């Protein structure tokens, strides 16, 4: 191993109630504490993290997140650190606790960027406590986490923005491997090392760091806010214990932090002042301003597709907003049981319903509700649920459990006889086409067999990519308005009971597979059918294709548009469908009887019941 020059002094890493010191902070104190203070680049060179003491020497991505095994060994040896002490300075120590760093490789910039975007990991930037900086000059690992908003030692709200340069504190460069700015300048612990705005400082080699004294920044005194201090203590305890209790059940810390992320994000998405419990006046004012700005933005973007408001995607960087939302989330997860958690979450879900309307069901997907949060959402929205409590297995007419028949027994379009007798009268005036209604009923039938989403039920029918299920909400809205949900549910469960019976039952997925190359009638069969129907000879390619599409749809209780003859997804699909429409309009009535005979023959040949 290369012999590295010794350092004149090595500080002890900070510890205590605010948690371990951050790696970058230790390097800064190391550089500033030499007999003659040196630049950070010199320390990184002497400890094996840089191959040259230059401002442009390559630095591994993920500075302060993790080190390679060789870097760990060298740094620990030069600084006379125990490997465990070094580990606690890195965000990697919280992998599987506060976030999931799977897929991260500190040698690969793209992997660092990808993981940083996926997780609220604090990969760049950090909050700080001015009084802690004044006493020790050191920054803590936990201050990088979005869940840290108050210093429990001093009872002060953390600072996340330098008042002089107006940039996020922490001195990390996301554009350059999260490395420190001004790497060739000797650091001064406690002073801001961010860049100044363009024009306020020199450029290039003449540039100077901000130099704002973070040790003297005024911040909110929260020492008289026991609710907020208590929430921070709970979060810190979960970091220490690496487990938590949610609705009376012990869960891993990572699960707990994921729940916190979901709850804080949905609160920032939908909550209004007063929804999140009592708050100190400065924190309440910050929440009021945030809600007002959010609602103004919503009004400005009304009618546009999409929105700039995506609170789940990026961690909140204002400690005041974390102080406003996190205590509510901590209290909710501490609920004694599921019923109490559901009651506490109901108001915010109702707020989201006011914003999203019928799309509120996507709340669980967009905010990654899992476990008790997903159950709470289901319970709050139960009166509008399709397959759970209104017409599904938990409906009054349901069995209370998923049905046992195979989805393969369900056709693309529910059988016409059943549709005409039991469902058509209930859907009069709904505005749905017969095709859309019959497919949607088949999807509802599939959803009685398992916890399938609308998209997944379409896939179970073999319609993935061919039918999006957008008729589900209009259908259920119509049934709710006309009072037809009970009758619909009774008819649906009657079909389910029939499919659970002895049969015989057709395996529609196997039949579709057997017919996957049935794109037209062969010339001999077509001539026989044409002659039997009294149709004169003519160009026959389109009619042979149309006849195959109709026979296919009859065998599978499907729609001709889904057939191989009309090539779903083909670039000329519109032309194929137009030719089929003409065939259906001009020829099908004459051919229907003879094609029905041929269909029955094919069913016999395929062994279909």
For the whole prediction, is pTM greater than 0.85? Answer: no
What pLDDT was estimated at residue 386?
47
* pLDDT mean across residues, the chain: 88
* Token pair of 463 as six digits: 């319609």
For the ranges 160-169, 172-181, 428-437, the lowest mean pLDDT is seen at 172-181
Mean pLDDT across 119-127: 84
* Token pair of 501 as six digits: 């019976």
What pLDDT was estimated at residue 388?
54
Q: Measured between alpha carbons, how far is 299 from 295 in angstroms, rounded to an integer?
A: 6
Q: Decide: 257 and 147 in contact? Cβ < 8 Å.
A: yes
> Is it the case that residue 545 has pLDDT exceeding 80?
yes
Place of tokens 């008819």: 491
Q: Measured between alpha carbons, how far is 210 from 191 in angstroms, rounded to an integer?
A: 8
**Proportion of the chain above pLDDT 90, given as a percent:** 60
Q: Is 278 exposed, middle or buried (0-12, 13-18, 19+ CB in 10 A)?
A: exposed
**DSSP letter assigned to residue 217:** -
What pLDDT was estimated at residue 3?
47
* pLDDT, tens only, 594-606: 999 999 999 999 8
Q: Decide: 546 and 578 in contact? Cβ < 8 Å.
A: no
Q: 3-state class of 275 per DSSP?
A: coil
What pLDDT was estimated at residue 423?
95
* pLDDT, tens only, 22-47: 999 999 999 999 999 999 999 999 99
What pLDDT was estimated at residue 411?
95
Mean pLDDT across 168-197: 81
Mean pLDDT across 539-561: 91
The residue extents of the domains of the chain are 23-213, 226-384, 389-505, 512-606
* pLDDT, tens only, 51-94: 888 877 778 778 889 998 999 999 999 999 999 999 999 999 99
* pLDDT, tens only, 347-378: 999 999 888 887 888 898 899 999 999 989 98
Kindly write down the DSSP assignment for every residue of 133-178, as one continuous string: HHHH---BGGGGSTT--EETTTTEEPB-B-TTT-SBTT--BGGGTT
* pLDDT, tens only, 127-145: 999 999 999 999 999 999 9
* pLDDT, tens only, 285-340: 999 999 999 999 888 877 665 555 677 788 898 999 999 999 999 999 999 999 99
What pLDDT was estimated at residue 1?
41
Q: Measured between alpha carbons, how far is 77 from 315 in angstroms, rounded to an integer?
A: 36
């Amino acid at each position: 191993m290369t012999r590295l020059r010794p350092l004149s002094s090595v500080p002890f890493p900070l510890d205590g109630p605010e948690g371990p010191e951050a790696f970058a902070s230790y390097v800064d104190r190391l550089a500033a504490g030499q007999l003659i203070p040196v630049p950070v680049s010199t320390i990184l060179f002497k400890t094996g993290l840089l191959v040259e003491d230059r401002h442009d020497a390559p630095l591994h991505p993920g500075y302060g997140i993790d080190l390679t095994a060789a870097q760990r060994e060298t740094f620990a040896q030069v600084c006379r650190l125990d490997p465990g002490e070094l580990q606690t300075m890195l965000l990697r120590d919280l992998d599987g606790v506060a976030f999931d760093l799977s897929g991260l490789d500190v040698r690969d910039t793209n992997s660092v960027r990808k993981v940083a975007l996926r997780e609220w990991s604090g990969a760049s930037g950090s909050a700080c406590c001015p009084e802690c900086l004044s006493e020790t000059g050191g920054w803590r690992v936990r201050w990088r986490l979005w869940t840290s908003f108050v210093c429990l030692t001093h009872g002060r709200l953390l600072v996340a923005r330098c008042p002089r340069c107006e940039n996020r504190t922490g001195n990390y460069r996301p554009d350059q491997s999260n490395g420190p700015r001004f790497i060739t300048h000797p650091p001064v612990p406690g002073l801001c090392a961010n860049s100044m705005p363009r024009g306020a400082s020199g450029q290039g080699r003449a540039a100077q760091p901000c130099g704002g004294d973070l040790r003297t920044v005024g911040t909110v005194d929260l020492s008289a806010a026991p609710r907020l201090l208590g929430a921070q203590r709970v979060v810190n305890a979960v970091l220490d214990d690496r487990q938590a209790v949610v609705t009376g059940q012990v869960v891993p810390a990572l699960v707990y932090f994921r729940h916190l992320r979901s709850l804080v994000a949905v609160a920032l998405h939908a909550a209004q002042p007063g929804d999140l419990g009592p708050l100190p006046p400065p924190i309440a004012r910050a929440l009021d301003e945030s809600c007002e700005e959010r609602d103004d933005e919503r009004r400005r973007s009304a009618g546009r597709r999409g929105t700039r408001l995506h609170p789940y995607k990026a961690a909140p960087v204002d400690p005041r907003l974390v102080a406003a939302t996190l205590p509510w989330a901590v209290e909710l997860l501490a609920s004694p049981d599921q019923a109490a958690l559901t009651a506490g979450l109901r108001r915010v879900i109702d707020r989201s319903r006011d914003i999203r309307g019928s799309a509120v069901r996507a709340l669980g997907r967009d905010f990654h509700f899992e476990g008790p949060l997903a159950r709470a959402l289901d319970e709050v929205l139960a009166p509008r649920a399709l397959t759970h409590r209104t017409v599904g297995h938990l409906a009054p007419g349901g069995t209370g459990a998923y049905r046992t028949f195979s989805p393969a027994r369900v056709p693309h379009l529910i059988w016409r006889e059943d549709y005409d007798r039991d469902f058509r009268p209930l859907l009069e005036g709904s505005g749905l086409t017969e095709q859309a209604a019959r497919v949607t009923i088949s999807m509802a039938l599939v959803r009685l067999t398992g916890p399938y989403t609308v998209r997944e039920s379409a896939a179970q029918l073999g319609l993935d990519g061919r039918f999006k299920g957008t008729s589900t909400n209009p259908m259920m809205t119509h049934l709710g308005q006309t009072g037809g949900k009970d009758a619909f549910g009774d008819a649906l469960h009657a079909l389910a009971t029939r499919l659970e019976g002895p049969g015989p039952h057709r395996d529609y997925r196997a039949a579709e597979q057997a017919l996957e190359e049935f794109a037209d009638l062969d010339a001999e069969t077509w001539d026989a059918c044409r002659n039997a129907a009294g149709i004169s000879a003519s160009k026959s390619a389109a009619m042979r294709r149309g006849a195959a599409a109709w026979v296919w749809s009859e065998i599978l209780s499907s729609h001709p548009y889904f057939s191989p003859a009309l090539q779903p997804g083909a670039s000329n699909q519109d032309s194929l469908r137009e030719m089929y429409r003409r065939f259906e309009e001009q020829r099908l009535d004459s051919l229907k009887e003879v094609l029905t005979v041929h269909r029955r023959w094919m069913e016999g040949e395929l062994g279909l019941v």
